[in-house]
Structure 1
Amino acid sequence: MMLKLAKCGYHSTHPEGLLIDRPNGSGCYVFVLFKSHAHVTVNGRTSTVSPDTWMIFRPDTPYRYRSADRSFVNDWLHFAGEEADSLLRELELPLDKPVPAIHSGSLSRLVMELQRSTWLGGPLQERIIASDLNGFLLKLGNLRRLRPGSEQMARYFVQLSEIRSRIYSTPQQRYTIDGLAAEVSLSRSHFQHVYKELFGCPISLDMIGSRLEFAKYLLENGSQPIASVSLMCGYENDTHFMRQFKKFTGKTPSQYRKSCTSPEPARSHDLPVQSL
C-alpha cells in the first residue's frame, strides 16, 4: 500500500483563531507546521510553540492545539499507509514532539506543491501524490539531519543555504567572498568559518565547484570554443580556467571534451556472444 494523503492545507489562515481538539487522536498521522504561536496539549501536557515549529502527531495520540494569538496560520497534512510507519521509523522523525523547523519556507512550499497535486486529477494522480508525500517526508528527515549544532549557527542556516543555492544555480556570476559576507552582515573571516561549519567545505571550493560542474556540462553538450566556455563560467581569462579545470579534474578542457565524445573501448563481457 502506498503512502496516502487524506487531506492537506497550505497557509491556512484563521483571523479569529483556531482550536483543534482530538481526544482520541485523528486516526492518521498529522503533520502541522505552525506559523503562529500556539498552545499544544499532547497526552495531557501543554506547551507553547513558536512560529516555524513542526510536529507530527501519531494516529492514536490524544492532542489539541489552539492559537496563542488572535490570528492563526499553519500548514498541515493528514496521511496514512502501511509504508508510513516504517518510513517514519527509518527517518527517525520525532513524533508528538515540537521540532524547530530548519528552512521552514522550503517545507511550506512542499506542502503547497502537495496541495496542487490534489487538484491535478488524472489517472496517475494517486501515484503522483504518493511520490510527492514520500519526497516530503524524506526532505523533512534530511533537513532535520542538517540542523546546525548550535543556535549561533542556526541563525545563519537559511541565509547561507540560499547563498549556496545561488552559487550553484548561477555559476556564471562572479561572486566575491567579501560581497557575500556583506549580505549577511558578517566579516569575511567569520562568514567563511560559519559557512564551512554548516556545509563541511570552504565557500571557495563551492564557488570553484559550481563553475567547473557547469563547464563540464557545456563541454559535454556543446561545441563552443574553450575561451567561450571559460567566459560563460565566470572566468576572467581562459588560462586561469584551463589551469583550474585540470587541477580539479585531472584533464584539460579539450581532453575532457574528447573523452566525452570518444567511444569507450569495448570490454570483453560487452562483446556479442556467438552461439556454437
Structure 2
Amino acid sequence: MLKLAKCGYHSTHPDGLLIDRPNGSGRYVFVLFKSHAHVTVNGRTVTVSPDTWMMFRPDTPYRYRSADRSFVNDWLHFDGADVSELLSDLDLPLDEPVPAVHSGSLSRLVMELQRSTWLGGPLQERIIDSDLRGLLLKLGNLRRLRPGSERMARYFAQLSELRSRIYSTPQQRYTIDELAAEVNLSRSHFQHVYKELFGCPVSLDLIGSRLEFAKYLLENDTQSIGSVSLMCGYENDTHFMRQFKKFTGKTPSQYRKSCTGTQALPR
C-alpha cells in the first residue's frame, strides 16, 4: 500500500522559498513547479521552468530555491512497499526535471490527495493509496504523450511563462483578450491552445491564482477581508466573498478560522 506522509496543493510563497535536504527526505518526493526554480541534485544545478515536475528518491541529496521573488508549487511526500517497483514499471524519471504536459490535471490530483487527508474516514488509507497510484499512472501516461501537433508544441514554453506570471502576480487584473494578444493569438484560439496544453481553461487559472493567494493571506496574515480582497485584485469585497465561497465552500472568515492553529509543512 502506498502511504502519503504530507502534501501541499498550490503552495504559495510571495517572498520565495528555499528547501535544502543534504541527506534526502527519507521518502519519495514529487514536486510540480509552477514558478522558475534553481534545483541542485547530487551537486549539479539546473534551472527549471514553470510546468515542470521532478520525483526525488528518498536518499537523493537535493536543494531547490525560487528563481523569482514569488514561488508556487504542488508537492507530496510518500512511500510504500512497492513504490520502487511501480516507478520502475512506469519508467518514470527520477531526480531529473520533466516537462509537465497537462499540468492542470496533475494539480487537481494533488488537490484531491490533500482533500483526502483532511476528510479522514475508515477508508482513508485505501482512498489515498488509490489516488497516489492514479497520480503515478497519470504521470506515466502523460509522459508518453506529446502536444497534439508541432504547432501546439511551439506554444508550450511561451504559454508556460505566461501561466507562471498569472500565478506569480494574482493581484493583476488580466483579461483573456490581453493575454491572447501577448502571444499573437485570437481569443478563441488562445483559449483552445491553453486548455489543450494545461488541461484547464485560462479563466479557471485566473480565478485560481487569486483564490490561492487569498488563502495564503488568510492563513498567514491578519489583514481585513477587504484588504485581502484588494491585494488579490478584486474590485469589491462582495465579488471576492461570493467567488471564494463558490470555489472553496467557505467564506473567507470561515476559512481563516479553520486555519487557526495550523502550521505550514516543509516541502
Do they superpose with TM above 0.5?
yes
- Normalised by the length of structure 2, the TM-score is 0.58
Structure (1 or 2) with the larger CA radius of gyration = 1
Deviation, structure 1 residue 153: 3.8
Cα pair distance change 1:122/1:182, threshold 3 Å: closer
Corresponding position of 2:36: 37
Partner SS for 1:39: strand
Counterpart residue type for residue 109 of structure 2: L
SS of the equivalent of 2:40 reads strand
1:74 alignment partner, SS class: strand
Counterpart of 1:183?
188
Q: Residues 11 and 44 (structure 1 numbering): CA distance in 2 closer, same or farther, change over 3 Å?
A: same
Q: In the alignment, which residue of structure 1 is the partner of 2:163?
A: none
Q: Distance in 2 between matches of 1:35 and 1:42?
A: 19
Measure how far apart 1:148 and its partner are: 4.0
Following superposition, the deviation at residue 9 of structure 1 comes to 0.2
Aligned partner of 2:138 in structure 1 is 139
CA distance in structure 2 between the aligned counterparts of 1:3 and 1:120, rounded to whole angstroms: 18
What's the % identity of the aligned pairs?
A: 84
- Looking at structure 2, the residues matched to 154 and 77 of structure 1 have their Cα atoms a distance apart, in angstroms, of 28
Matched residue, 2:49: 50
Task: List alignment gaps of at least 5 residues for structure 2.
Answer: 160-185, 197-267
Letter in 2 for 1:48: T
Q: 2: CA distance between counterparts of 1:15 and 1:153?
A: 31
Task: Please give the secondary structure, in 2, of the residue aligned with 1:9.
Answer: strand
TM, length-normalised to structure 1: 0.56
Q: How many residue pairs were aligned?
A: 164
Q: In 2, distance between residues paired with 1:151 and 1:102?
A: 14
Deviation at 1:50, TM superposition (A): 0.5
Quote the Cα distance in structure 1 between the aligned partners of 2:72 and 2:18: 12
Across the aligned residues of Structure 1 and Structure 2, the Cα RMSD in angstroms comes to 2.3
Structure 1 residues not aligned, in runs of 5+ = 160-180, 186-190, 196-276
Local SS of the residue matching 2:126: helix
Q: Does 1:117 align with 2:122?
A: no
1:131 partner amino acid: S
1:8 deviation in Å?
Answer: 0.3
- Per-residue CA deviation, residues 233-264 of structure 1 (Å, 9 max, x unaligned), is xxxxxxxxxxxxxxxxxxxxxxxxxxxxxxxx
The alpha-carbon deviation at position 82 of structure 1 amounts to: 1.3
SS of match in other structure, 1:184 = helix
Task: Determine the C-alpha separation between the residues in 2 that align with 1:66 and 1:47.
Answer: 11
Q: CA–CA distance in 2 between the matches of 1:32 and 1:97?
A: 11
**Greater relative CO (CA pairs within 8 A, separation 6+):** 2
SS for the counterpart of 2:74 is: strand
Q: Secondary structure at 2:82's aligned position in 1?
A: helix
Question: What is the alpha-carbon distance in structure 1 between the residues aligned to residue 64 and residue 128 of structure 2?
Answer: 27
The Cα shift of 1:110 comes to: 0.7
Give the distance between the partners of 1:156 and 1:69, measured in 2 at CA. 22
Equivalent residue of 2:32, what SS? strand
Cα distance, 1:151 vs structure 2? 5.4
Name the counterpart of 2:71.
72
